[in-house]
Amino acid sequence: MTAHEIDYKIYGEEMQFVEVELDPQEGVIAEPGTFMTMEDGIKMETIFGDGSKNDSSFMGKIFGAGKRLLTGESLFMTVFYNTIMGKKKVTFASPYPGKIIPLDLSLNGGKFICQKDAFLCAAKGVSIGIEFSRRLGRGLFGGEGFIMQKLEGDGMAFVHAGGTMMKKELLPGERLKVDTGCIVGFDASVNYDIEFVGGIKNTLFGGEGVFFATLTGPGTVYIQSLPFSRLANRVIAAAPKMGGKDKGEGSILGGLGNLLDGDNRF
């Protein structure tokens, strides 16, 4: 498996985007909805599966699309090709505040495991598949179920971490306990399992869930400070309730604030 060799540059701090530079006939694959801009000479094509060399046959394409369906993603992916002479650029944006992580899969043993919604884009030829959990506890209580995404190949891939990203190099046998939603991804050499928090007070009143994820080295792991699920829960909690009537912050003062703002809803 040989992926296209692409150059890139990441811009921004909190709302980042990645600019990919393509030589003639080079391509990059991306999730639908991540595209930002492209220069003249770049052709966009929607395909089944991930566009890797493994799915060149009709049945391979159907299988590739089915793998993506299992991870909760679209059956389709988008490929951007440079169809003319000279270098051309295409950009892809983060879906929410955070950091874009560049991964050279040739330096990661050719394989990287990540959350189902972490993948952003990759060089044409990189395979985006599924990684099944062989452990019942991890599958039932790991937050991401039995299926995670698997990036395979020898090219560049880009994943997204919410909030601030932490990179941790684990030594052989070194263990790190992580909130299950805060995992972005890890090398294939890292062992991922689930551990019960323990203690009745911790379980009932700790507010941090009942299970930890345990990552055991050797290998590199990436952690995010703001999982999208946590962000979504805060937004839902702050949304207007009770039939669309918003009591506001502090109820009485919130209602007074609405009147001053010209909003007389109670």
Give the pLDDT confidence score for residue 257 in this predicted structure: 47
The identity of residue 131, as a single letter, is E
Is 222 part of a structural domain of the chain? yes
Indicate the pTM of the whole model: 0.76
Q: Decide if 221 is inside a domain.
A: yes
- Residue 254 inside a domain? The answer is no
Q: Both tokens of residue 68?
A: 């993506």
Q: Edge to edge, what strands does the sheet with 119-123 contain?
A: 42-48, 76-82, 27-30, 119-123, 156-162, 98-104
Bridge partners for 29 per DSSP: 79, 122
Q: For residue 58, what is the enclosing H or E element?
A: helix 58-70
If the chain, 266 residues long, is cut into consecutive pieces of 10 residues, what is the mean pLDDT of each piece?
Answer: 85 92 94 91 83 53 52 72 94 92 91 89 88 53 60 93 94 92 92 71 48 89 87 74 51 46 45
In a domain, 214, yes or no: yes
Domain count, the chain: 1
Q: Which residues contact 56 (CB under 8 A, 6 or more apart)?
A: none
What is the structure's pLDDT at 27?
93
At residue 39, the pLDDT reads 95
Q: Domain range for residue 122?
A: 7-239
- Does residue 260 sit within a domain? no
Residue 255 placed within a domain: no
pLDDT given at position 146: 47
Residue 45 sits at φ, ψ, to 5 deg, of -135, 130
In a domain, 248, yes or no: no
On whether the CB atoms of residues 92 and 120 are closer than 8 A, the answer is yes
- Answer whether residue 30 is part of any domain: yes
With beta carbons less than 8 A apart as the criterion, state whether 166 and 223 touch. Answer: yes
Q: What CATH number should be reported for the domain holding residue 45?
A: 3.60.160.10
What distance in Å separates the CA atoms of residue 180 and residue 182, rounded to the nearest whole number? 6
